[in-house]
Amino acid sequence: MARDVKGKVVLITGSADGLGLAMVDNFLKNDAKLAIMLDFNEKKGLESVAAMKAKYGKDRAVFYTCNVVTDLEKIFDEVIKLGYIDVVINNAGILDEKNIKNTMNVNAIAVMEWTIKFFEYMRNDQGGNGGTIINISSIYGYRVTAHIPYYHGSKFAVMGFSKSIGHEYNYNRTGVRVVTLCPGLTKTNMANHPHVRDDTTFDDFAIELKTYEWQTADDIGRGMVETFQQADTGSVWLVEGGRPAEKINV
């Protein structure tokens, strides 16, 4: 059964540009009521929310400057004033092979903390209305390359965590659906400037990246909406090469 985007309030972290902004655009295009845009880049975020308001209406998008590692409680208290939040997308991420703690804090621990916070808020056995949380992993959350072990570790963590909290047992008790989306290689600032743990391997990694199917951020935005509409709780979905989102068994 396809789920309807229309009328939903959607919160997306890391949405000032790239994949997150494309998700905002596609949810609003499909008649979401409100997109709550969060990002640490205030200048870019204000520019992007202005563009979304101009395109879809001044009441359809709002932006908050946010560091997902430190600002959860502050942002939560603000955004719940906007109305019931139906969908949370944990999209914020980094590729920093020089700093394992930063990578894990942003890509994994923050995702877990934001998921649990909104899971408890949404659960219908404790006064919520249910809802959907979609966590962004990566093709590198289940495929392996030799060059970015910190990133791999963070995205494998997101995958395992999301499949566990999204288990049908938990959904049946709470009405909160948790899904994992794995984007393939996408033309974004992060992907265009990859950092490797060992600088002597950079050229080899660059050659490897050329063998992948690449896609645009808008392909991910469309795939995110498709995933929202189709995915069962605990499932993992892939968007790669610009093709429609598909469920994968990993």
Which among 140, 151, 171, 212 is annotated as catalytic?
151
- Residue 23 CB burial class (10 angstroms; 0-12, 13-18, ≥19): buried
The HSE-up count of residue 28 (CA atoms within 13 Å, CB side) is 26
Distance from C-alpha of 126 to C-alpha of 218, rounded to nearest angstrom: 36
151 is catalytic: yes
Handedness of CA 63, 81, 12, 60 (dihedral sign): negative
Residue 44 amino acid letter: K
- Catalytic residue numbers read 151
